[in-house]
Structure 1
Amino acid sequence: MRKALYIFGLLNDADMELLAALGRVRTVPAGAVLIAQSQQLDRLYVLLDGHMEVAVSGIGTVATLGSGEILGEMSFVDSSPTSATVQALDDVRLLDLPRSALEARFAADPGFGMRFFRAVAVFLAERMRNTTARLGYGKDEPMPAGMLEDELDDGLLDNVGIAGERFARLVRLLAER
């Protein structure tokens, strides 16, 4: 749910309603591949219920994702082919957000586009910091005073409760359709 905390914490309530209106709920059965590594992806997904496995060719499973995770964000940002395969571990429900619908909305509402891309950028920056730390880069540089290695940013912590409520609201809005 960590991705959702970054993204939903930086969006506003109206943005959540907009995401619900732009996307469609989709069910993926257990064992089905949602995203194949190296494919072109023209959408973004929000995992509403269930679990998915992320695997990279030659490496194996790199993550298991649950409710609230965002899928396809890297390919959404740079339009590159996907870097991993994502497969349903059980029956999952997700919000399918087509790139064309989101891009049309970004053009009509630049404020929404700014908030959306800032949220994705903050998440990707944090992921990069954690990855480089795990690989041993920057070991000679001290952590900021009072900060633990995998601690969330203070600005994000302020929005954790709000982000969780926004995700719950998104799920409720989608259930009403």
Structure 2
Amino acid sequence: MASLSPLLSNFPPEDVAQLSIFGEARHYVAGEVIIEENEANKYLYLVLKGSVEVTKKGDHGPRLIAEIPQTGSIGEMSIFDPGPSSATVKALTDVEVWRATQENLERMHEVRPKVAYRLVTRICEVLAKRLRQLNQKYVDMV
């Protein structure tokens, strides 16, 4: 799993192996909605196989925000904020994911605190990078 996700890029193999204990694998078929905008989502997802699209509702239908390939992650905000999802995520192809809840990460923190810390730190890095990109897009539009 480490070579498949930037979130896990600096994880030792033994730590990556531990992650499967604290989450679950899921399969989605092409076209299936994984996360629905404005609905509750409690999962962080790592895309292990396939790709997904992220869309946001607009005045003239859904607007494509991003395509997340194999190795990407989605749902990171749900680990910190259990509010409604900010976008819809749909499988573009058949997709295999590993997913975990905030409760899974809390349990990981109790059992493997260094692994949990490393994962949460990487999630924060991903969110910070996306915020910087969004800030730049905003500045470019103004």
Pairwise TM-score range, normalised by the shorter structure: 0.7 to 0.9
Higher Rg: 1
Percent same amino acid among aligned pairs? 29
CA distance in 2, matches of 1:19, 1:111: 12
TM-score, length of structure 1 as denominator length? 0.68
Tell me which residue corresponds to 2:91.
88
CA distance in 2, matches of 1:61, 1:12: 35
How far is the alpha carbon of 1:51 from its aligned partner?
Answer: 1.5
CA distance in 2, matches of 1:68, 1:12: 17
How far is the alpha carbon of 1:29 from its aligned partner?
Answer: 0.9
| Aligned-residue RMSD, C-alpha | 2.0
CA distance in 2, matches of 1:41, 1:129: 24
How many equivalent residue pairs? 134
Name which of structure 1's ranges 17-26 and 70-79 shifts more when overlaid on structure 2: 17-26
Name which of structure 1's ranges 77-86 and 15-24 shifts more when overlaid on structure 2: 15-24
Tell me which residue corresponds to 1:145.
none
Tell me which residue corresponds to 1:57.
57
Tell me which residue corresponds to 1:39.
39
Say whether residues 1:76 and 2:79 are aligned partners. Answer: yes
Are the aligned partners of 2:47 and 2:70 in contact in 1 as well (CA < 8 Å)?
yes
Are the aligned partners of 1:19 and 1:97 in contact in 2 as well (CA < 8 Å)?
no
> Any stretches of 5+ residues in structure 1 without a counterpart?
138-177
Tell me which residue corresponds to 1:119.
122
CA distance in 2, matches of 1:29, 1:19: 24
TM-score, length of structure 2 as denominator length? 0.83
Are the aligned partners of 1:11 and 1:119 in contact in 2 as well (CA < 8 Å)?
no
Cα deviations by residue, 1:38-73 (Å, 9 ceiling, x for unpaired): 122222111111111100111611111110111110
